[in-house]
A and B are shown apart, each in its own frame.
Chain A
Amino acid sequence: MMNDDGNSLLKKLTQQEYQYGFETKIDQDTVPLGLNEEVIRLISAKKEEPEWLLEWRLTAYRHWLTLTEPSWAKVTYPPISYQDYYYYSAPRSKIKKPQSLDEIEPEIRETYKKLGIPLEEQEKLAGIAVDAVFDSVSVATTFRKKLSELGVIFCSFSEAVREHPDLVRKYLGTVVPYTDNFFAALNSAVFSDGSFCYVPKGVHCPMELSTYFRINAKNTGQFERTLIIADDDAEVSYLEGCTAPQRDENQLHAAIVELVAMDRANIKYSTVQNWYPGDSLGRGGIYNFVTKRAKCAGFRSKVSWTQVETGSSITWKYPGCILLGDESVGEFYSVALTNNYQQADTGTKMIHLGKNTKSTIISKGISAGHGQNSYRGLVVVGKNADNARNYSQCDSMLIGNQCGAHTFPSIEVKNQTGTVEHEASTSKIGEEQLFYCRQRGLSTEEAVSLIVSGFCREVFKELPMEFAVEAQKLLSISLEGSIG
């Protein structure tokens, strides 16, 4: 009987269509299909980049050619033909450089409206500066003035290359070198745009910084690159959120995020990821192969990653922290939801190198439909990392009988003074729990949403307020009609 009930839940769950599936019509400015040195030169030229950056791209590309795609993740997908993608596209602005939101194409603004995040509203709302990435090029940057008064640089990556080449050159690839992995090398060769942020010494950034990514051009791989540097005693909170329109072809997305925290600096990086997950049969959807890493370079520096992953057909993502500075702190809070045929292989790496370093990992995986959810984590305590401490907690929740949850924790301790703790649990939304809620008058959907948000509470409370609300909404949407 329980099985029947579970199955009917599943049926409804899998019928949930992606709400944000629409495509905006905008002229695309693309380079030829496929990838070779010419394409890279073209991308670099279009962006009017300095010679050193072109050379860096080419070196990365040549290195990429020597690599093979990794296959260790617990995900399956047909082979990717890297020559069948376009590696650059930019919306063609009628007006060269928009000075305000009024100058942005109405279609783009409409897109954001459909997503419920109108820029003009956000501008008015409690101090969120928005660097909106539409396809590959930034189209809007707000609150620039206020930030620049404080010396905070927050702009698109391309702009940073033009305006602050020394900073970019100093930090680019220092956290994720192009040799790091297959997708990192690819990104380094062809990255299109992204965000750049530098918070100078002693400055506490007065507003949450936020970027909305969106894939729009057909067959366009997205290769964002984000670099955030918090100098001594600086503090910044960065929000990243994204959704993508519905389409049939798989889309490759290989971003890099690098964070650098100097002495006593504090970076909080929050993500709500809602790329198109594919339809109920698993067709289409985004491949999200992301390398995110922070270097806690300074004494008592702190980096906190919070992610809510509800989208993508495949997620391959391990935001980590290199705890280099003594007494530095790394945190990872994650909710990953897989529904229908989504696959997520996600987790973190905490590399303790400095003395008295501390890390916390809280991972919540939710699997529904035929979803496969894996936590993969690495905790390393280096031989000089005296008194390093790690606490890991990995909880999985199953909805229905056809999904899977897996945990792959690795722990390497090379210093006897370290303390590493790992806790794990698996639970299932049971018929009994649902009956209890429904007997109290809640619909099945309300009950599921309630139980799931309770399960994720430890992570949601780490998100900035307005983001937490959005994340909870997203989770409810993703699970709507999941049971009953």
Chain B
Amino acid sequence: MEQSMLKIKDLHASINGKEILKGLNLEIGPGEVHAIMGPNGSGKSTLVQVIAGREVYETSGTIEFEGKNLLPLMPEERAGEGIFLAFQYPIEIPGVNNTSFLKSALNSIRKYRGMEELDTYDFLEIIREKMKLLDMSEDLLTRSVNDGFSGGEKKRNDIFQMTVLDPKLALLDETDSGLDIDALRIVANGVNSMRSPNRSMIVVTHYQRLLDYIVPDFVHVLADGCLVRSGGRELALELEDKGYLWLENSKEQSR
């Protein structure tokens, strides 16, 4: 493996005194797509939220991103570094225009990177192109951020934001949940269009269905706060076949 993009060592995370991640290790190279699977409550969402910097968690260990320790950085700084989290439940912000929200976000990130802020004209040019990619209807741009959006529209809007913000590390938290098969295809298209040798992804999912569309290079199984098994694409299929219970039984062996 080349120089890794993300290197997580002995990561612990707890909330309200309850430990969720218990010494997790993970290394991701540039351009790689890693899928994290696992039963409910195993800590999948916690992992991506901790990488993105959610402050409700107490953490220890290290998360190195391109050689830089992320843990002391605030969420907005991590966003500036190039980390994007597509939320399991994208948040509604009533009264705030979806387009101007995205423009503020993009310009904040550009500012962090020492780039010039985009004016409205250049910004609109970018988003027109990305809109086509995700088959977004115009009215989603004029409405308030996720306000009154269907579950599928919210997910699509999140991925749309991702394509505009152009991150180096994309974290997709159960992006497939709430999507019908057509929406799933569109969203997966958007994600796949972003695959590049310089961009890595962590795809958190419950079901292997998503991985038919976004084909991972590696699959990891998270159970009880640790990665208990890692493998290639075939591990996901095996999981689907045998269920997580199979894992629980095999956990002892892997330790």
Contact = CB atoms under 8 A, between A and B. Distances in A.
Query: Are A and B genuine complex partners?
Result: yes
B53 A439 contact: yes
Contact of A458 (B74, B87, B95, B145): B95
A455 B92 CA distance: 12
A1 interface: yes
B96 A440 contact: no
A442 B161 CA distance: 14
Nearest to B111: A441
Contact of B93 (A2, A438, A454, A456): A454
B79 A455 contact: no
Interface in B12-62: 15-16, 49, 52-57
B105 A455 contact: no
A29 interface: no
Nearest to B161: A440
Interface in B52-110: 52-57, 74-76, 78-80, 84-85, 87, 90-91, 93-96, 101-102, 104-106, 108-109
A429 B108 CA distance: 21
A439 B85 contact: yes
B248 to A, nearest CB: 29
Contacts of B123: none
Contacts of B78: 439
B114 to A, nearest CB: 14
B94 A441 contact: no
B165 interface: yes
A424 to B, nearest CB: 15
B112 interface: yes
A462 interface: no
Nearest to B144: A454
B74 A438 contact: yes
B175 to A, nearest CB: 15
Nearest to B55: A5
B79 A439 contact: yes
Interface residues of B, number: 36
A14 B96 CA distance: 25
A437 B91 CA distance: 9
Nearest to A395: B94
Nearest to A5: B55
A141 B182 CA distance: 65
Most buried by A among B52, B96, B106: B96
A442 B105 contact: yes
B93 A441 contact: no
Interface in A1-21: 1-2, 5
A49 interface: no
A431 interface: yes
A1 B16 contact: yes
A1 B101 CA distance: 27
A441 B113 CA distance: 11
B79 A440 contact: yes
Given A433-B93, A436-B91, A455-B94, A441 B55 contact: no
Most A CB within 10 A of own CB, among B52, B145, B161 = B145
A453 interface: yes
B75 to A, nearest CB: 4
A456 B104 CA distance: 18
Contacts of A443: 76, 108
Nearest to A435: B54
A438 B56 contact: no
Given A435-B54, A435-B55, A440-B161, A450 B93 contact: yes
Contacts of A456: 95
Nearest to B90: A436
A439 B52 contact: yes
A438 B76 contact: yes
A444 B52 CA distance: 15
B93 A451 contact: yes
Nearest to A431: B56
Contact of A454 (B75, B84, B95, B109): B95
Given A1-B16, A443-B108, A446-B104, A437 B93 contact: yes
A432 interface: yes
A144 interface: no
A5 B80 CA distance: 22
Contacts of A432: 91
Nearest to A450: B96
B108 A435 contact: no
Contacts of A446: 104, 108
B243 to A, nearest CB: 32
B146 to A, nearest CB: 9
A441 B115 CA distance: 14
Nearest to B86: A439
Contacts of A473: none
Contacts of A5: 55-56
Contacts of A164: none
A114 interface: no
B148 to A, nearest CB: 13
Given A2-B56, A436-B90, A441 B76 contact: yes
A364 to B, nearest CB: 10
Nearest to A440: B105
A450 B57 CA distance: 25
B91 A442 contact: no
B115 to A, nearest CB: 12
A440 B78 CA distance: 9
A457 interface: yes
A439 B75 contact: yes
Interface string A443-483: 11010001101111110000000000000000000000000
B94 A454 contact: yes
**Interface hub of B16, B54, B109 (most chain A Cβ within 10 A):** B54
14 contacts: A1-B16, A1-B57, A435-B54, A437-B93, A439-B76, A439-B87, A441-B106, A441-B109, A441-B112, A442-B76, A450-B93, A453-B95, A455-B95, A458-B95
Q: Which 7 A-B residue pairings sit nearest by Cβ, starting from the closest?
A: A454-B95, A454-B96, A457-B95, A436-B91, A440-B105, A441-B108, A438-B75
Interface of A: 1-2, 5, 431-433, 435-444, 446, 450-451, 453-458
